[in-house]
Structure 1
């Protein structure tokens, strides 16, 4: 199994970062605009549409407001296993350390999924820090 782990330091309030991540139905607007173009809630899942046209169904596994942790599992598609988590930590008074871990099988999907993670990291940093700078 391949694990892709990204730790992102953000010049943004941890409460604001968590608010964007935990708004699971608006990821295309509040978290990764340009990477995702649409998000629809469907019971305990969300359907996300990527800018390249890929559509994925993600089961919402955990949305823990106390721990500021969100876990989802992508189902269907080419992956036999795809699980990811976000967790938000304070890093000083107005900064955030965001940890994003993605586990995927088969290992051959690490490249394309890793590319999506990199796009997501850049979009999150741009979006969340822009909001913080607007204050």
Structure 2
């Protein structure tokens, strides 16, 4: 598997901490997928079929609600994700986990870009608080990207 991983970064600016105690983390991970960007994007943008088209097994159920989806992961975690934007021109999906007992803030995006003939690069970025959750979230992103690669390269 070809992937580039950027380690989580944290912010501990004094002026930031005056209004927001604690640290935030930004995670960026990328993976190459041997499939056309149009095909990869079609699976990513299908926000209600993540468990069928994009990451089966990693996500076991997706239920659409008003402006959001409820995602059940294979490890048993359930997340309500507000769909912020589906940008077909940029091939970019943005979402935010809301109502999480573990996260006080979470926003993420996934973008599909061409990377050579018939190949795509998927870029997944997540920003979250508290940064104590970074290891867990980074691991889940890595696992999700691996399943995505396997699924979309069939």
Give TM class, smaller chain.
Answer: over 0.9
Q: Distance in 2 between matches of 1:87 and 1:114?
A: 17
User: Is 1:102 matched up with 2:119?
Assistant: no
**Which of 143, 147, 151 is matched with 1:119 structurally?**
143
Shift of 1:3: 1.1
TM superposition score normalised by structure 2: 0.82
Shift of 1:112: 1.0
Q: Distance in 2 between matches of 1:54 and 1:117?
A: 14
After TM superposition, where is structure 1 displaced by more than 6 Å over at least 4 residues in a row? none
Secondary structure, aligned partner of 1:79: coil
User: Is 1:30 matched up with 2:53?
Assistant: yes
Q: Distance in 1 between matches of 2:69 and 2:29?
A: 22
**Which of 65, 68, 71 is matched with 2:94 structurally?**
71
**Larger radius of gyration between Structure 1 and Structure 2:** 2
2:71 is matched with: 48
Q: Distance in 2 between matches of 1:15 and 1:26?
A: 17
1:133 is matched with: none
TM superposition score normalised by structure 1: 0.94
- The superposition leaves residues 101-129 of structure 1 with CA deviations (integer Å, 9 ceiling, x where unpaired) of 01110000001111111110110110011
* CA-based RMSD: 0.7
Q: Distance in 2 between matches of 1:117 and 1:17?
A: 17
- The structure with the largest helix share of the pair is 1
Bigger relative CO (Cα 8 Å, ≥ 6 apart): 1
Secondary structure, aligned partner of 1:87: strand
Q: Distance in 1 between matches of 2:67 and 2:117?
A: 34
Shift of 1:75: 0.7
Secondary structure, aligned partner of 1:119: helix
